Amino acid sequence: MAESRESLHGEWSGRWAFILAATGSAVGLGNVWKFPYITGENGGGAFVLVYLLCIAIIGIPIMMAEVMLGRRGRRSPINTMRHLAAEEGRSPAWQLMGWGGLLAGTFILSFYSVIAGWAVAYFFRTAAGTFDGLTADGVGSIFTGLIGDPERLLAWHTLFMVMTTIVVARGVRSGLEKAVRFLMPALFVLLLVMVGYAMNAEYAGGLGQARGDSPFMAGLNFLFVADFGKISGNGVLVALGHAFFTLSLGMGAIMVYGSYLPKNVSIARTSITIAVMDTLVALLAGMAIFPIVFANGLEPGSGPGLIFNTLPIAFGRMPGGVFFGSLFFLLLTFAAWTSAISLIEPIVAWLVENRGHSRTYAATLSGGVVWLLGVGSVFSFNIWSGEEYQLFGKTFFDILDYLTANIMLPLGGLLIALFAGWRLRRATCVEELAMGAAPAFNLWYFVIRYISPVAVVLIFLKAIGVL
Ligand code: PHE
């Protein structure tokens, strides 16, 4: 029976095609834009440590489970969950998890596209040499100018959504594999160049006189020396949420990519490879950015503008900065693009399966809805930034970001762990994961049944103050 399972939408050409596509989904703004700024906001080292633990004991096991469910179900997340629940004699209500995922994907992409628009704008700015020789203040005022202008943000957001819709309409597989194959190594090398620059960075003006270290050492200290006094219960939740966000887990993106995965590929090995690459990119981004923050006396916790206020300072000063800077923002745009595609793919796959729409129609329809919602995030940085437009001190953008990353994704991940660990027959897991070695399987099975779900629940309880 398992042999006759085939996806309606085609398959990846092999293990590496899947690794590339899933890495393309995982590596994106989450690594380069979000990781540094939330690390800055949550005090550094302790936050990074919690985040790494979440990746290892919650993220990787749940990624394996999500890929497994996708490959077993061979359909869009909603239909996969409905189908698997029926096959295993479980409640049809499990498909609600798929619906929650579609909603989370829509919400995330709506603001993701706006931030990706910033990256596009910065590509043109660095290419034009705008940052040449600017001080930190000069760089900062360029950023403030950009986000204060709703028309520009809207234009870049629109461009990015059109780019995403076109690729999704044409089918995921053809271009994606090739794009990511070149993109990931290039982004990696460029981050190494930036870390190299950071190693030699010096304090601006009189900043360094009182300190015995270099900005690079200050950056490393901030990132890797854990001071648990600096992290709150909410900070722990943000670290957990980010583990889900950065690995694209908990909303069906990895499940839908898993549904195109050929039968003979090892799910455990691929998941670990993807998580390691994703984590390396995030850590490199942090190592490139924080030394610049300290060298220029900037505030690590300054929020979503952090990379746009720091990296251009370096590009404005280093030799070949126009070239490296524009290439960097171009690659960041591509990385965001390959993530955006995976955010919308579950919706498009569902519309094609259940409504019989063509891919083009399905992509245009869902892209349009996401675009419209994104207008709220565009305005969050300018005309709706005032207090009268906020709820609990959060703008529309802040709310979507918090709700999706810190609540919807961990909840989706929790349900995936519970379904895989408690509702799927053990034999199904053994067959689908095909891990060969029994101890490795047993370890995963124990973690997905007990450790991951309990950890997620404990972190939720801690964040709301129960613990
Ligand atoms: N993982 C992506 C990033 O880090 C964002 C994403 C989240 C993509 C959820 C798909 C699903 O940028």
pLDDT in tens, 294-330: 999 999 999 999 999 999 999 999 899 999 999 999 9
Q: At what angle do helices 95-127 and 306-317 cross, to 10 degrees?
A: 30
24 Cα–ligand 1 center, Å: 9
pLDDT of 104 strictly over 80: yes
Give the per-residue pLDDT at 12: 79
Q: How far is CA 250 from CA 69, 234, 246, in A?
A: 12, 19, 11
What is the rounded average pLDDT of the residues 395-416? 97
Higher-confidence residue of 57 and 8: namely 57
Q: Which residues contact 424 (CB under 8 A, 6 or more apart)?
A: 69, 84, 88
Sign, CA dihedral 403-406-407-412, equals positive
Task: Identify the DSSP state of 252.
Answer: S
207 Cα–ligand 1 center, Å: 37
Atom number in ligand 1 closest to CA 342: 10
Please state, rounded to an integer, the average pLDDT across all residues of the chain.
Answer: 93
d(CA 366, CA 467): 40
Q: Is 246's C-beta closer than 6 angstroms to any atom of ligand 1?
A: yes
Q: Is 100's C-beta closer than 6 angstroms to any atom of ligand 1?
A: no
Helix (H, G, I), strand (E, B), or coil: what is residue 131? Answer: coil
Helix (H) or strand (E) segment spanning residue 430: helix 426-433
Helix (H, G, I), strand (E, B), or coil: what is residue 394? Answer: strand
CA end-to-end span of the chain: 47
Give the per-residue pLDDT at 174: 64
Residue 288 identity (one-letter amino acid)? A
Tokens describing residue 177: 């594999």
Write the pLDDT tens digit of every residue in 23-79.
Answer: 999 999 999 999 999 999 999 999 999 999 999 999 999 999 999 999 999 999 999
Q: Is 79's C-beta closer than 6 angstroms to any atom of ligand 1?
A: no
DSSP state letters, 85-98: HHHTT--GGGHHHH
Give the per-residue pLDDT at 172: 60
Give the per-residue pLDDT at 182: 84
Q: How many C-beta atoms surround the C-beta of residue 13 within 10 A?
A: 12
d(CA 363, CA 368): 8
pLDDT of 4 strictly over 60: no
What is the rounded average pLDDT of the residues 334-355? 93
d(CA 222, CA 361): 48
Give the per-residue pLDDT at 311: 95
**Nearest CA, atom 6, ligand 1:** 248
Out of 43-47, 223-227, 260-264, least confident range: 260-264
Give the per-residue pLDDT at 224: 97
pLDDT of 177 strictly over 80: no
Phi, psi of 394 (to 5 degrees): -120, 140
What is the rounded average pLDDT of the residues 262-281? 93
d(CA 347, CA 62): 21
pLDDT of 15 strictly over 90: no
Tokens describing residue 424: 């799927």
**Nearest CA, atom 7, ligand 1:** 248
Residue 213 contacts residue 221 (beta carbons within 8 Å): yes
Atom number in ligand 1 closest to CA 340: 8
pLDDT of 3 strictly over 50: no
Residue 175 identity (one-letter amino acid)? G
pLDDT of 7 strictly over 70: yes
pLDDT of 142 strictly over 90: yes
Q: Is 108's C-beta closer than 6 angstroms to any atom of ligand 1?
A: yes
Q: Is 106's C-beta closer than 6 angstroms to any atom of ligand 1?
A: no
| Closest by Cα among 337, 456, 310 to 27 | 337
d(CA 96, CA 188): 38
Task: Identify the DSSP state of 424.
Answer: S
Helix (H, G, I), strand (E, B), or coil: what is residue 429? Answer: helix
Q: Is 28's C-beta closer than 6 angstroms to any atom of ligand 1?
A: yes
| Closest by Cα among 129, 113, 463, 123 to 318 | 129
What is the rounded average pLDDT of the residues 364-375? 98
Q: Is 23's C-beta closer than 6 angstroms to any atom of ligand 1?
A: no
Helix (H, G, I), strand (E, B), or coil: what is residue 434? Answer: coil
Helices (H), 296-358: 306-317, 321-355
Atom number in ligand 1 closest to CA 336: 12
Write the pLDDT tens digit of every residue in 183-224.
Answer: 888 999 999 999 999 999 999 877 776 778 899 999 999 999
- pLDDT band per the 50, 70, 90 thresholds, residue 175: low
What percent of the chain is predicted at pLDDT more than 90? 85
- pLDDT band per the 50, 70, 90 thresholds, residue 1: very low
Tokens 């994606």 sit on residue: 176
Phi, psi of 387 (to 5 degrees): -60, -30
Give the per-residue pLDDT at 2: 42
Out of 240-244, 353-357, 443-447, least confident range: 353-357
d(CA 356, CA 3): 25
Torsion of CA 426, 55, 100, 454, to 10 degrees: 60
Question: What is Dmax (Cα atoms) for the chain?
Answer: 72
Per-domain boundaries in the chain? 15-463
Pocket test for ligand 1, best of 183, 246, 408, 416 (most atoms within 8 A of CB): 246
16 Cα–ligand 1 center, Å: 19
Higher-confidence residue of 179 and 152: namely 152
- Under CATH, what is the fold of the domain 15-463? Amino acid/polyamine transporter I (1.20.1740)
